Structure formats: structure tokens, C-alpha cells
Amino acid sequence: MSLHNLINQELNDPRKRRLQRHVQKLASAAKNRLLSKINNEVKVRRSTRSVVLGKAKVMSYEDLEEARAKRAAKDKATAAKGKGKCGRLRKNPAPGTAADTVPLEEEVVDSSAPKNKEARLSDVEPARPLFPWRAPVAKMY
């Protein structure tokens, strides 16, 4: 039975003590509901990110719109730029970059000229190992 129905039934009862308790309980429940609703609004307000549009000065609506447009353009530019690389830069470019894809004219060599040792070794396939690679295991004595 709901609390509201209990209160309605007890209005005719000569004992007012129980009626007072139920009314107090109903008021407390309403107060708790109101406070939780206010708390939820505060959580939403705190979770939203505030955007700084400009310096602390009185601005007209047009100035605010202009500042918002500038801020949006700035955010878009930083998002397009991306995150910078940290750490040391490589001396030699990584394989697969633009430096490898550009053909050089010096690479065209007469076929009658002898090949250097490095080129001859790169044509030979490396021998396959007898056992697949395994992690080293420390022996316990």
C-alpha cells in the first residue's frame, strides 16, 4: 500500500500520532527526491568542459559569436595537426617513407659491370634454421 493511501486512511482515525509519522515520512521522501534532483544537475554542470572565449571583459553577443567562431577554428586546427612525436628523431628515415620510394638515377648501372659483394649476398636466400626460435631457458642445478 502506498504511503499516500495510508495517510488518507488514517485521517479518520482518532490517533494522530501515526498520521504525523506518515506525513513526516512523506515530507522526508519529497525532500530527498528534491535534493537528489539538484545533485544530478550539479554533476552535469561540473562534468561539462568550460570553454574560454577571451579575456575577462564585458562582451556583446556579436563579440561572443565571433570569439566562439575563432575558438572553433583554433580547436579544428589543433585537431588536424595531431599529437606531436616525443623522443629522439631517427637519423635514417624509417623504411617505407618517401625517401625510399623516389628512384635514383645512379641506381641504373650497366649489366656488364661486376656487382659488389653486398648485392651478390642479398640475392642468396638465407639458410633456414633447423629448429624454430625458442626463448632461452635458464638451467637450475
User: What pLDDT, on the 0 to 100 scale, is given for residue 122?
Assistant: 60
Q: Would you list the domain boundaries of the chain? A: 1-52
Give the mean pLDDT of 31-44: 89
- Which pTM was predicted? 0.31
User: What pLDDT, on the 0 to 100 scale, is given for residue 31?
Assistant: 92
**What is the b/e burial string over 79-103, where b = at least 16 CB atoms within 10 angstroms of the residue's CB?**
eeeeeeeeeeeeeeeeeeeeeeeee
pLDDT in tens, 85-106: 777 777 776 666 555 455 545 5
Ramachandran bin of 82, using left for φ above 0, alpha for ψ from -120 to 50, beta for the remaining angles: left
The percentage of residues in the chain with a pLDDT greater than 90, rounded to a whole number, is 9
CA dist 70 and 75 (Å) reads: 9
CA dist 131 and 123 (Å) reads: 24
